[in-house]
Amino acid sequence: MWGKPVAPIGDAIRAAAGDGSADDLAYAIQQINVERTVNDRGTRVCGRKIGLTAAAVQQQLGVDRPDFGALYADRAFGDGDTIDTARLISPRVEPEIALVLGADLDILQPTVADVIRATDYVLAAIEIVDSRIANWEIGFHDTVADNASGDSFVLGTVPYLLTGLNLADVEIAMTIDGQVASTGTGRACLGNPLFAARWLAHTLAVAGTPLRAGDVVMTGAVAAMAPFAPGAEVTADFGALGILSIGAL
């Protein structure tokens, strides 16, 4: 039933994969759910999210590598928006750096230079993650099948060019109701958000579903996730990329 969490499914995925790839099966389940979501909600996929990039998040969830999921246009919000959490199960927030592509990234072995060339501009961002797996008791295959635990995302409204901007050195502090919830730098995102985007571009090109011009790429958390409860006021200070705030109903 919609809105009701389920027990972990990682063991079932690995058992069903047998001698095959449990990773491939988990992503196949994700794709089925993406197609159903697009059809049922009448929305569109407007980009991709990278998950499990920060060591702090990997430690929180007990995983050791990144994954990816889809971003939906009807789950995109802007700076200052208030988000209804009633439809969510156990939402959490994490600050991220987003890239917006101005060109396709369909090269099988992209370089950082290719990522830079394809990036139109950069935005401060916050992701609202949620888990359809009860109590966030997830392993790698659980979260992959569950769209990398993705739900909504918030984008800043001031675009920044990459020229002269070192994303690895961007310092980010997120507060909830005035209390510091997490801090980090772009370096926590696989060393640099551009490196994370390069990994994603390669992974999707190999799969035959490359990143396209206009896609939003949420490059992954730079700090630990924090609960997003009704009434919460979240502010993320991205230094050179400005300040982004959201509220929760």
Per-residue confidence band for 223, with pLDDT thresholds at 50, 70 and 90: confident
Average pLDDT score, the chain = 94
- What is the set of domains in the chain, with CATH numbers? 10-248 (3.90.850.10)
pLDDT (mean) for 52-75:
87
Task: Write out the DSSP string of the chain.
Answer: -TT--B---HHHHHHHHTTS-HHHHHHHHHHHHHHHHHHHHT--EEEEEEES-SHHHHHHHT--S-EEEEEEGGGEEETT-EE--TT-SS-EEEEEEEEEESS-B--SS--HHHHHHHEEEEEEEEEEE--SBGGG---HHHHHHTGGGEEEEEE-SS-B-STT--GGG-EEEEEETTEEEEEEEGGGTTTSHHHHHHHHHHHHHHHT--B-TT-EEEEEESS--EE--TT-EEEEE-GGG-EEEEEE-
Percent of the chain with pLDDT over 90: 91
Closest CA to 211 of 58, 48, 64, 91: 48
Q: How far is CA 194 from CA 15, 53, 76, 129, 237, in A?
A: 35, 12, 22, 21, 20
Question: Tokens representing 121?
Answer: 């501009």
pLDDT above 70 for 90: yes
Per-residue confidence band for 1, with pLDDT thresholds at 50, 70 and 90: very low
- First-to-last alpha carbon distance for the chain, in angstroms, is 23
C-alpha to C-alpha distance for 25 and 51, rounded to whole angstroms:
18
pTM: 0.94
Per-residue confidence band for 86, with pLDDT thresholds at 50, 70 and 90: very high
pLDDT above 80 for 138: yes
Closest CA to 249 of 71, 61, 91, 14: 91
pLDDT above 50 for 29: yes
The pLDDT value recorded for residue 2 is 56
Question: Tokens representing 174?
Answer: 């997120």
The pLDDT value recorded for residue 59 is 81
Per-residue confidence band for 62, with pLDDT thresholds at 50, 70 and 90: confident
C-alpha to C-alpha distance for 243 and 241, rounded to whole angstroms:
7
The answer to whether 67 touches 144, Cβ cutoff 8 Å, is yes
pLDDT (mean) for 133-140:
92
